Structure 1
Amino acid sequence: MPRLRLLVLGVAVSAALAGTPVAATGAPLAPVPLPLSEEAWPQAAAPGDRLTVSVAGSGVAGSDGTYRLTCRPVGGTHQRARAACDRLAELAGGSQDPFAPVGRNAACTMQYGGDATARVTGTWQGRSVDASFNKKNGCEISRWRSLEPVLPGNAG
């Protein structure tokens, strides 16, 4: 009997040194699958959008304030998070950057859309975002509207 104990002990020590778990009987245990690393998950390959949206003077009831918006998965404190993430997903397939400022040489109509301002910061499509919005002319109004419902819609 002492020989069997030595054999079991020898197998256990050898397995421990090799990193292989063994049962009390000395038989190797079946490997336990480990959870996939973050890199193996599809969501981790394209990190989710994480934005902070600050709005002032919008004229839309309950829309002024600072909100967090996360997409993939949808979450945060944004009032219309699902619709906002859907819009961002649409914009991701386009050829224009929705956060780019109006070009210096753009010809904009001289219309005034109100005192609304907004700032969007964070990460979108894996890149840093820091964009300001207003409604001071036709180009800025169009740019604002292209991001609705990330930014609040018109008051009326």
Structure 2
Amino acid sequence: MLRRLIFAVAATATASVAALTAVPTAVAAAPVPLPLPLLERSDVGDRLTITTSHTGNPRADGTFELTCAPAGGTHPEAPAACDKLAQFAKEGKDPFTPIDERSICTMQYGGPATARITGIWRGRNVDATFQRGNGCEIGRWRSLEPVLPTARYQEPAGS
């Protein structure tokens, strides 16, 4: 009887050790996909405040509210702006990420336009600033049109 009990305990222990050592191998063999938070969240509840100035278009300067799902608020191009933000989410991109400090940008001036976007997008807080002081920032601004207005900058006469 004692011999059966020892054999049962030994067999159980061996099976447990085998199962525990097999788990890391099984996990390592099959990569687990990481969730993409921008894709998992819907745009319900998205609410952004967009403040722009010096765009070269007085009707585009000011503070506008943008809500999506359904598109609304005081933003002059709310449906197109929401479509643009949905496109970023579908591609898994964050349009509010600043330009990397290590980026090499062309030394061009796109005008004095500035913008700040605050609020909630895809369930997270947003507080982003935009300007047009170099080629990277101009490209970042343009990629977010029509959320941000098209800036109309003309070189001052005599420059």
- The question of a shared fold, defined as TM-score above 0.5 by the shorter chain, is answered with yes
Structure with more of its chain in helix, by fraction: 2
The residue type paired with residue 104 of structure 2 is: A
Pick the aligned partner of 1:87 from 68, 84, 93: 84
For 1:93 and 1:77, locate their aligned partners in 2 and report how far apart those are by CA, in whole Å. 25
2:103 matches 1:103:
no
2:146 matches 1:134:
no
Pick the aligned partner of 2:49 from 40, 49, 52: 52
For 1:48 and 1:88, locate their aligned partners in 2 and report how far apart those are by CA, in whole Å. 13
Pick the aligned partner of 1:149 from 137, 146, 151: 146
Q: Please, which runs of 5 or more residues in structure 1 have no aligned partner?
A: 1-43
Pick the aligned partner of 1:62 from 59, 68, 78: 59
Deviation at 1:97, TM superposition (A): 1.3
Q: Between Structure 1 and Structure 2, how many residues are aligned?
A: 113
SS in 2 for 1:136: coil
SS in 2 for 1:86: helix
Residue number in structure 1 paired with 2:4: none
Please tell me whether Structure 1 or Structure 2 has the larger radius of gyration of its CA atoms. Answer: 1
- For the 8 Å contact 1:48–1:73, the answer to whether it is kept is no
Instruction: Report the TM-score when normalising by structure 2.
Output: 0.67
The residue type paired with residue 89 of structure 2 is: A
Q: Which aligned pairs between 1:5-44 and structure 2 lie closer than 5 A? A: none
- For the 8 Å contact 2:55–2:152, the answer to whether it is kept is yes
Instruction: Report the TM-score when normalising by structure 1.
Output: 0.68
1:9-40 Cα offsets, whole Å, 9 max, x none, are: xxxxxxxxxxxxxxxxxxxxxxxxxxxxxxxx
Q: Please, which runs of 5 or more residues in structure 2 have no aligned partner?
A: 1-40, 154-159
The percentage of aligned residue pairs carrying the same residue is 57
Cα 1:107/1:71, change in 2 over 3 Å: same
